[in-house]
Each structure stands twice: as C-alpha cells, then as structure tokens.
Structure 1
Amino acid sequence: MRVKRFVGATMQEAMARLKSEMGADAVILHTRKVQNRRFFGLISREMIEITGAVEEPTFAAKETTLSKLNPSTLQLKPTQTRLSASTIAPPSQPAVGSSFTLIPSSPAPNPMKESDPLKETMAAEMVEIKGMVGEILERLNQPAEDLPSDIHRIHQLLIKNDVELRLADQICSKIMPLDTRQNNQQAIALIQAILGQPKPIVLPPPGNGSHVVMMIGPTGVGKTTTIAKLAATFSIVQKRKVGLITADTYRIAAVEQLRTFGEIIGVPVEVVFSPPTLRTAIERNWDKDLILIDTAGRSHKHERQMEELRAFVEAAQPSSLCLVLSMTTKGKDLDQILNSYNHLNFERIIFTKMDETTQYGTMLQVIQQTGNPLSYVTTGQNVPDDIEIADPAKLARLIFGEMQ
C-alpha cells in the first residue's frame, strides 16, 4: 500500500491533487487542518491536509492472477521478458531460461469481478468514507480560509467563544468587509439578531386570576434559587401576591431551601408529591397573582424520570413553562438535553451561572435549535439581586468577547 499526504487551500483542492496522483481508487485515511507558514514563518495560513492510500499489486497478487489462467488457451511468443518456468507450466513446458510472453487466445477472467468477501467489505468501507468526506466538504463549504483576514479573525474568535462552527460560518458569510471596527459591529449586530427579543414574565393586572410559571430542567442548574429570586422580585419589588409550590421531593434540602426563602419574604410554600396533589395546590392558591412551581431535576438520559415530569406538567397546565439551563453545560450535552425536553413544549429559556464561565456561544445554539426566546439570566447566588431580564445587546457583546 502506498500512503501519501496532499495539502490544499480547500478540501476540493487537496482531493483533486490526491486523485490526480493516486487515481480514483485512492482511499482517504485522515483529514486535518494545518498551518502553512510563509515568509520565514511570520505569516501562516490554515490549509487542509489529506492522507491518502492506494493498494499496489504485489508479485504474489500477479502470480495468483496468472495461476487462474487456463494454460490450454495460452500461446507463446518470443520476447525480451524472462520468466521462471516455475511460474507457469503449459502442456509443452519450454526449457528453463527460454524467453516468451503470454498471449491469451481469449479474454482472461477478471478476478476483480468474482465474489470476494474482502472486496465487499472494502466497498462498504468506501461508501462510508465517501459519506464522511461529503460531510466534511459540507462543513467546509463556507471558505473560512479564503475570507479577508479581519473576517477570518472574527470567525476564529467566535469559535473560541464556543459558537458552533455552522453558526460562525453563517455570521461571517453575512459580514461586508470594511474596517476592523465596523466588521466587529456587524458581527455583534448579527449575533443580537439571532438572540432576538427577550420574553420575561408579565403578570396580568391584579384580580385577573393567577399566572402559573413552572420551572423544568436538568439536575444542578439552579432552578430552586432562580424561583426564589423571581419570588422576591415580584413579591417585594412589584408588590404582587406570590405563592410557591415545590414538587422537588427527591431532595429534602431543596424543600427546606424554598421554605426558608418563603419565610424570609413572607410567601407561602406548599410541597406536593404527585400530579393530582399539584393540581389541588394550584387551585388553593388561585387568589395569588403569581404561582411559581419548582420541579425535581430530571436526567435527560432517564426515560422514566422524563415521563414523570410530563405528568406533572400536564397536571399543572402552566401559563409559562420555562426550561432552565446552565451556561457551564457543554454544547454536545445541551443537544441531548434539548432533544429530551422538547416534547414538553417549553416556550421560554432561562440561563443560569453566567458568572461561572467566560464562553457564552452555546446560547446561540440553544436559541436556534429551539426557536424559543431567552427570558432571564442569572449571575450569582444573591437573592434577589443576581437575576436580570436577558439583554440581547449586552449578551451579543459577551458572546463576541468584547466585554471579557
């Protein structure tokens, strides 16, 4: 097998070089991005490197092919080629050392056309490799390497700040190259447009019934603390009647935490253990302007827990269902969480723990994937201070990295 590396400014250019030198049967073993340094290493440019391989026929393979020919169909003709008599022995074996060539009187069978499990396996692998290459080409379709240097800088900055590659490509493709300051402003404006307008909790006028807000989300994201902050904001600051209900009976500490908050701000707290008792508790608090419901953190990997949560949501029939997520959660984990919670039809998103990270790009991924707006962000543990309505302009600058 012959293995060689080929480098090009784009994936297409690198593949063209591979096919040109190694032929259409070449197999791609590996692809990666490399830095091509020029002018004594002072200037570098990102390139695509492909490692390709092609199977070369060995002597043993040739001998096997010859052995499959029918000796009776062969004719001998003098030539300059010298073969060992042990290679093939026709009926009238020539003397050792005589020169001849093999001329089949009829087309020889092609071993490549015969059924061979190894060849079938290789063919299946080729199909898989072509699919992978197609995916790579699709992801590299936006020519980041060919962008003007300042736009390329913005692209790299977005990736560094945890913006998904697809979104970084989309943003940079819409920037009109101007001076550096204006390019930055364009990028921030595009990020702000993706964030959209926030959707905080808005209560109807007093005496128009209760607004029921339910918090759902994975374990450890800070749902209970977020509810306490909202309860304090609406009760103390806005002077509205608030009721608290918790269905988080998995953690005794969560119940005690919410009860303590309730006592401090003068808000009643009820504990429920099942969907029917949740419905009853909501009806008892119908004189409140706002009813906030806390739920147990549910693992997106645990199907039974998710079904239990669905039963509580159906019993509550909330006016607003908020998914609470942590800014410290990885992008791939967020994908799985969103896939598990989507069937609950939440319509608002709250991001917590903004103070525990310096990379905010996953926010864009969540908004694009769900199509739902941000409601609030939390920036610490202090109640009720460390919560604020999501500000798209401020968040766009954070995501871009201007405020770090």
Structure 2
Amino acid sequence: MKIRRFYGKDMREALKQVKDELGDDAVIMSNKKLSDGVEIVAAYDKEPVHAPKRQQAPTTPEPKRRVDATPTLSEIIGDSGPDSLRALLEKQIQAKESAVQANSNVQPSPIAPQRTTTQSEARQPQARTVNEPQQDALNEMRQELASLRNVLQFQVAGLIQQDKGRNHPLHGYLTSKLQSMGISQALANEVVSYTPADTDERQAWLFLLKLLANRIQTEESNLLTKGGVAVLMGPTGTGKTTTVAKLAAQAAQKYGAENVGLITLDSYRIAAYEQISTYARIIGCSVKKAQNAEELSDLLFQFRNKRLILIDTAGFGQRDVRLIKQLETLKQSTTANINSYLVMQANSQYQVMQQTIAAYKQISLQGCIFTKIDECYSLGEAISAAIEHKLPVSFITDGQKVPEDLKVADAKFLITSAAKLYKKHVLIHTSDNSLNNAAVAV
C-alpha cells in the first residue's frame, strides 16, 4: 500500500485529482484544510493501468505550503525500510507476539495479577455476587480486629493501673476509696496526685477531704442577704417550687412578707400556680403569673420596690426543646438583673448532672442548689459536678419542711456528709453483709 498527497482549492477538486490519478480503488486516509486549499492523503495498492499524468488547474496557483509540506511516509522511512503500510503493521504484530512469548517463558509470581473488569462485565450481576462473600469476609475481619484492639487497650490500661498500684500502693488505695465515695475518676486522680509521700493512710485521707473542701465554691453573699431578682431553674421533680417557698418564708421572716414577691412561669404543669399561690398565701407575700417575656418584664416593674423577687419556672429535661424557649424568655427580660440558680437533685447520677449543667449553662448561672440531701446514699457525684464545672453551691435542702429544711451551703459540711455516707452505706454494708449476700445469692 502506497500513500500520496493531493492539493486543491476545495474538496471537490482534490477528490477529482485523486480519482484521475489513482482511480476508483483509492482509499482516502485523511483530509486537512489549509490556508489556500485542501490537502487529501490517499492510499492505493496497485498502480493504475492507465495512470494519467497529473494535471494542475491553470487557475489554481501552486500552494506555498508544498515547499514546506509534511514529508510522505516513504520519505520518513527511507529507501531501506518497507515501502508499504501493511508491512509496517505486520512488523508491529510480530514484535508484540515475540514480547508475549518472552513474558510467558518467565516464571509467574505467586500473586496472580488482578483481572481488569470491563464495563460490560461490571454490569453483570454475577460479578457482584462473586465479590460479595469477599466483602463480607473483609468486614468480619475488620470487626474482629476492632474487638481485639479494644480488648488490648483495656488490658494495657489495666496493666498500667497495676503498675501504678505497685509503685504507689497508697495512691491506688486512696483513688479507689474516693471513687467508692462517688468522686469521679478524673477528679480522684487529680487530688490524689497532691498527696504527700511521707504520710500514712489516715493522714492522707484527711488531707484529701480538706483538699476537696477547698475546691468547692460557695457564695460569699447568698441571695437572701443581697436580695434582688432570682430565678430557680432545673429538670422536673427537683423541688424548685418547694425551694422557692422555703426561700420566700425565710426572707419574709427576716425582712417582712411585704418585701417578698413571687412570680411563676410554669404554665405547663397542672395546678402549678395553685401550689405556689398556696405557699404565698400562707407566707403572706404577693404572687403573680407570667406567660411570656413581656408579662415578666411588667411584673418585675410592678415588684421593683420588693427586696427579694423569686421566679419559679417549669421543669424541663436537658433534652426538652421547650427548655430553649424558657431560657430565651429569661434572656429577653432585660428590665432587671436576674440571677439564675440551677436546682439539682443531689441523688442524681453523675452523667445526668453533667448533661443538666451543660444544658442550662446557655445562660450565666450564679450558682446551684442541691436538694434531697436526706435521700442520698452518696454525695460524691454532686460534689464532682460542682467542682469540675466551677459552679458555686448556694443552698442545700434536706427535707420537705418549710422553711426549716433549707441551709446555706458549706463546703466542710458537704465533705463531712459525703464521708459519713461513704462510711455508712459502703464500708459497713460491704463488710457486715458480704456473707449474708453470698448466702442469699446461693
């Protein structure tokens, strides 16, 4: 097969030249548009029987680019090379076949090459079903590796803890003792690290209790002393309304009932207003109900001459969406400086207290009030939450009597009560009743 180039001013003239020179058996390989015409590359196998001489149109000038035209295939290859395109293709095929034979003689590697999946094969459902068992096996292996990693981490943590216990047996014993009292692990490890080295177990225990007492923050001037506007918030069932009544009764005894005002925002609970109005009638102070931020601002303006204004709120859990609406109502009431206090049960779980403080910290908290101290078997959880969040403890309540069962918070009293509860419900319980519990279990 030989190749020739033809030039014309348009495609019709160039095709006519190809037909005149090479005949009807010529094959058009390519065409290209030039600045002064068209170039066609044609191929032919045999010379035509009557090959007329190439005639150029008199009107068509010789293209300037023919001097610098791209050389033909025969010119590139040279006289020594093959003079047809078919020979070149056969040579390339022979080279590929020889390369394949050389690769087949090499010993194959133990890992088989990955087969390339074509697009048509990927669409077939059979290919997916073949890979599904492999994917399931890989997922199972990943799960087993993750489980082994968790077990190893647990074992390493235990070995580290045992190593600490061997190196510092007193520290390990004191940390375990504080955790049994309800103190969180992070806080227990922190305070134990300050224990003096040259001390016995009793002195170290007293040192830790004093250190915890120093870490508890209390209000220097409580709301009964400084007065103003105070709002009590917290989850449902923490005793907010009863605590408001206790505070109002003590303030009425100290400053007079006419200097105390009560406001309730609880419009969700049945008979909530009737309950607080009953307390107000017994105490002799005024009570009002607010539905929104505007009504709360109006009532605060009406009670502006009162020495102490206590606001009772509805109880919402930390995940209740209505809590956000209540907090926004308190934020919008800018007519007075409102001090916010969080009311929490002292017998709640540590994680519940953590989540509760985090939810109510959207507004600035002045302090917290721990209720139901008399129902606790452990006080370490409440102490840990207050210390870790640096939340001052304002009051504690230890009963239902109004107004007797309300005390100003004292750090020493809280730590002493926590130590007594630990001694009463942990040490004595485990030592005296271990045999009885074992017998009952059997």
TM normalised by structure 1 equals 0.65
- Contact 1:198/1:391, CA 8 A, preserved across alignment: no
> Which structure 1 segments of 5+ residues have no match?
1-72, 74-103
Rounded to whole Å, the distance in 2 between the matches of 1:163 and 1:136 is 24
Match of 2:315 in 1: 297
Per-residue deviation, residues 214-272 of structure 1 (Å, max 9, x unmatched): 01100000001111111111220344711110111222433222112212221111112
Match of 1:282 in 2: 300
SS at match of 2:235: coil
How far 1:153 sits from its partner (Å)? 3.3
- Contact 2:217/2:387, CA 8 A, preserved across alignment: no
How far 1:133 sits from its partner (Å)? 5.6
Give yes or no for the alignment of 1:198 onto 2:219: yes
1:146 to 163, 166, 190: 166
Specify which structure has the higher proportion of helix: 2
How far 1:176 sits from its partner (Å)? 2.0
Match of 2:374 in 1: 355
Go from structure 1 to structure 2 and tell me whether the alpha carbon gap of 1:125 and 1:346 turns closer, same or farther (over 3 Å shift). Answer: farther
How far 1:366 sits from its partner (Å)? 1.6
Match of 1:108 in 2: 110
1:189 to 192, 210, 217: 210
SS at match of 1:395: helix
- Contact 2:224/2:251, CA 8 A, preserved across alignment: no
- Contact 1:192/1:392, CA 8 A, preserved across alignment: yes
Rounded to whole Å, the distance in 1 between the matches of 2:139 and 2:378 is 47
Rounded to whole Å, the distance in 2 between the matches of 1:231 and 1:375 is 15
Rounded to whole Å, the distance in 2 between the matches of 1:253 and 1:287 is 28
Instruction: Give the superposed CA RMSD.
Output: 3.5
Per-residue deviation, residues 200-220 of structure 1 (Å, max 9, x unmatched): 524687xxxx71100110000
TM normalised by structure 2 equals 0.60
Give yes or no for the alignment of 1:265 onto 2:286: no
Deviates more, 1:178-187 or 1:366-375: 366-375
Rounded to whole Å, the distance in 2 between the matches of 1:136 and 1:196 is 38
How does 1:102-181 map onto structure 2 within 5 Å?
A: 105-109=107-111, 116-117=134-135, 118-119=137-138, 122-123=141-142, 126=145, 130=149, 145-146=165-166, 148-177=168-197, 178-181=199-202
> Which structure 2 segments of 5+ residues have no match?
1-102, 115-130, 425-442
How far 1:293 sits from its partner (Å)? 0.2
Match of 2:251 in 1: 234
Go from structure 1 to structure 2 and tell me whether the alpha carbon gap of 1:282 and 1:137 turns closer, same or farther (over 3 Å shift). Answer: farther
How far 1:349 sits from its partner (Å)? 0.9
Match of 1:218 in 2: 235
Match of 1:395 in 2: 414
Per-residue deviation, residues 96-139 of structure 1 (Å, max 9, x unmatched): xxxxxxxx955411899xx9533366347636764786588679
More relative contact order, 1 or 2 (CA 8 Å, 6+ apart) = 1
How far 1:352 sits from its partner (Å)? 0.4
- Contact 2:165/2:171, CA 8 A, preserved across alignment: no
How does 1:73-112 map onto structure 2 within 5 Å?
A: 105-109=107-111
Go from structure 1 to structure 2 and tell me whether the alpha carbon gap of 1:169 and 1:282 turns closer, same or farther (over 3 Å shift). Answer: same
How far 1:346 sits from its partner (Å)? 1.8
Give yes or no for the alignment of 1:342 onto 2:361: yes
How far 1:147 sits from its partner (Å)? 6.0
How does 1:47-66 map onto structure 2 within 5 Å?
A: none
Q: Percent identity?
A: 27
SS at match of 2:327: helix
Tell me how many residue pairs correspond in the alignment. 299
Rounded to whole Å, the distance in 2 between the matches of 1:280 and 1:235 is 23
Give yes or no for the alignment of 1:327 onto 2:341: no
Which residue identity does 2:329 align to in structure 1?
F
Specify which structure has the higher proportion of strand: 1
Rounded to whole Å, the distance in 1 between the matches of 2:423 and 2:153 is 38
- Contact 2:174/2:192, CA 8 A, preserved across alignment: yes
- Contact 2:260/2:306, CA 8 A, preserved across alignment: yes
**Larger Rg over CA atoms:** 2
